[in-house]
A and B are shown apart, each in its own frame.
Chain A
Amino acid sequence: MNHTPHQVAITGLTKRFGARLVLDNVSLAVDTGQTVALIGPSGAGKSTLLRCINGLNTFEAGEIRVGPHVLRPGHDHGGAPVRQVRRVFGMIFQDFQLFPHLTALENVIEAPVHVLGAGRHEAARRGRQLLQRVGLGDRAGAYPRELSGGQKQRVAIARALAMEPRGLLCDEITSSLDPELKCEVLAVLEDLRRDGLTLLLVTHEIGFARRAADRVIVLADGRVVEEGPPNEVLGNPQAARTQRFLSQLLM
């Protein structure tokens, strides 16, 4: 078996919704421990790409390698490769998707207890540590409706971390937050990055991408139009599509 040094290696990924081509022969790679910012205009296919990596969407052609696990077209939603890939990457959503009937701590320990079979006591101890880590040590007993947006998103991060993934897929996880709340969440991400987690982030936070990303990938109309270090791609974009997108973003 051919082991790539990459955490994620995507080749020739093609995805259609009906007749609409949403991802058009996309290839990219993310190294272990890297932070990659995925930017691009609305409808470019960024969310779809992340969802394909997490096995939430199937695709028509190409392959997605995550460590030693490979997703191919027509894979089964609950099949073994998908389950293994999900153990490597956790996913965080723009609209949090906390379980509303469970407290913050219960949200965090749900999967460890019921998927990994962890003891309730031990899981709760670790869950508290994780909440501590995202700055919510004192809100373990709160229900999602009692939390602010930023707090909810940090619980969602703790929940994903509880499964001990090697990396996180983050889909515009600060987009629905006020500026101060964004900072809370971004601070947590930077902290995770320092701890060596692989991060693939869809984001519109150009400042954050410039500061924290190792690499920026620009996706437009289902294609990778440019990629490279943040200061090059964001400071001196080569592709016309990137230039147009960045100037719109600054308006």
Chain B
Amino acid sequence: MPKTVHLRALGSLLSALAVLCCQAACDGAGKPAEPRPLRWAADAEGGAPYIFKDPDDPAKTVGFEVDLAGALARELGRAIEWVQYDYIRLLAGLDRRDFDFAMNGIEVTPDRAKAFRLSRPYYVYTEQLVVRAEEDRFTTLEDCLAMDAVVGTLDDTAAKRLLDQLGIRTRSYDNQTEPYLDLQNGNVDAVFLDLPIAMYYAAGNKKLKFVGQPLNPGYYAIVFRKDQEELATEVDKAIEHLLESGELKRIYEKWRLWNADQARLHSGEIQDVLRESSGKWTPAVYVPLLLQGAAVTIEISILSMALAVLLGLPLALARLYGPWPVRAAATVYVEFFRGIPVLLLLYFLYYGLPAISDRYDLWIDLRLAPMTAAILGFGLNYAAYEAEIYRAGVRSVPAGQWEAAASLGMSRWLTFRRIVFPQAVRVILPPMTNDFVALFKDTSLVSIVAVVELTKQYQILSKSSLKYLEIGAATALLYLVMSVPLGYLSRRLEHRWGKGQ
């Protein structure tokens, strides 16, 4: 008997048995068959103490939310299965029905309450200011403002909103490890984040210290879609039961997260905790913020392109006319930088270099400021492309031009400078402008090195306001307003440079 048939027969036998057993077991209670597990989304990347990979056994995820999910599963009588999901895309993923609910230190805000069904709060967080151990300039947010300090925080959090409200300069991150790393490295002056995060990442670090009292209390809630009322009600009841039975307290004590503030959980009806005023996201609020992002985008684009254009020329010359070792080196450069993703390059420049200088105790400080890393990354990357454009442009000038100039006694360098290059420019300019527009859009990648440019600003704003469409349209409009004139400029230049043809 062929194996497949054999297996299929065995399979149907087993499922028949399972149905029988289930019927037997369930008959008395009249309950339905075992429901499918609930899918719970959270981000385990740098997500301690909420959910993270167990350092002792990376195959396991641990955290107070993992324990809470376990407790909820017992209360609901239904398995809960965890799925990995980027923190910043959790709500979008929920909308897309990629999973059943999100529980990942998501703060209760009016906008979220409007768009989603929030459970009753399961934790009261406060925010904690953390500085370097030797810091003596400030102990409060007001001091930070006065000293014009740069404060690291997470995107789209109550902490970030409070800092913005106070007008403090911030640098935002999309995970919880980097802010403290940057603080230690001196890239930011302080970090302001939820107490559980501070407890886990900073409390044990001798190079950092907590200053001031925890402040700005708020609530974490589980997020469902509006159409999941039934499930959400069940979960609300389960949370209430866990609270009353003391199980919730046990979990928090295990993670050293229990404090007096948690008493508020008993009165925690969603409506009571909506403290932030809703409907504040008018264009008057977000457009200036988008414009700030656009200014950063323009700055990065122009400076990176300038670097690429300057660096591209010697590279092209080396490839065209250099002696072979120089030519080979230039070729390696071009192939290398065209071959690796610019994202990887940005990671390396920003996070990799400091690690190298620390590891080998180099005398030179390789800690690049976010803007420097961004400009360098794009500049180095695009220099490879510009070099190839230069090369093609120079080669498009007929050999007869070189000979005519030579017969007039012009040296090679003079010929290049006065005769060949000006003609090549007309060939070089259109693709170079194209590259500039491409670079301009590529700059959206720099958010990974903690630079807030236009796309990042859009992500932050749209997530805070849930006006994905409206703010998205405004952002797209801003990009167009900038890139369309660029195309126009390129055609004008092409026309001007081309006048001798």
Contact = CB atoms under 8 A, between A and B. Distances in A.
A47 B411 CA distance: 22
A110 B412 contact: no
Given A54-B407, A90-B407, A93-B400, A102 B500 contact: yes
Interface of B: 398, 400-401, 403-412, 414, 418-419, 422-423, 426, 497, 499-501
Interface string A46-80: 00000000111000000000000000000001100
A173 to B, nearest CB: 13
Given A93-B400, A114-B418, A86 B407 contact: yes
Contacts of A114: 410, 414, 418
Interface residues of A, number: 29
Residue of B398, B409, B422 ringed by the most chain A CB atoms within 10 A:
B409
Contacts of B406: 55-56, 77-78, 86
30 contacts: A55-B406, A56-B403, A77-B406, A78-B406, A78-B412, A86-B408, A86-B409, A91-B404, A93-B400, A93-B403, A95-B400, A97-B400, A98-B404, A99-B404, A100-B423, A100-B500, A101-B426, A101-B497, A101-B499, A101-B500, A101-B501, A110-B408, A110-B410, A110-B418, A110-B419, A114-B414, A115-B409, A143-B500, A144-B500, A163-B408
Contacts of A98: 404
Contacts, number: 72
Contact of A111 (B400, B408, B500, B501): B408
Contacts of B400: 93, 95, 97
Contacts of B404: 91, 93, 97-99, 156
Nearest to A144: B500
Interface of A: 54-56, 77-78, 83, 86-87, 90-91, 93, 95, 97-102, 110-111, 114-115, 143-145, 156, 159-160, 163
A98 B401 CA distance: 8
8 A-B pairs closest in CB distance: A101-B500, A97-B404, A111-B408, A91-B407, A97-B400, A115-B409, A100-B500, A101-B422
Nearest to A112: B408
A143 B414 CA distance: 21
A111 B409 contact: yes
Given A110-B408, A145-B500, 9 more contacts: A56-B407, A77-B406, A86-B407, A93-B400, A97-B401, A101-B497, A111-B410, A114-B410, A115-B410
Nearest to B426: A101
Contacts of B419: 99, 110
B408 A145 contact: no
Nearest to A169: B407
Contacts of B497: 101
Nearest to A90: B407
Contacts of A101: 422-423, 426, 497, 499-501
Contacts of B403: 56, 93, 97
Nearest to B417: A114
Contacts of B500: 99-102, 143-145
A111 B407 CA distance: 10
A91 B402 CA distance: 13
A115 B414 contact: yes
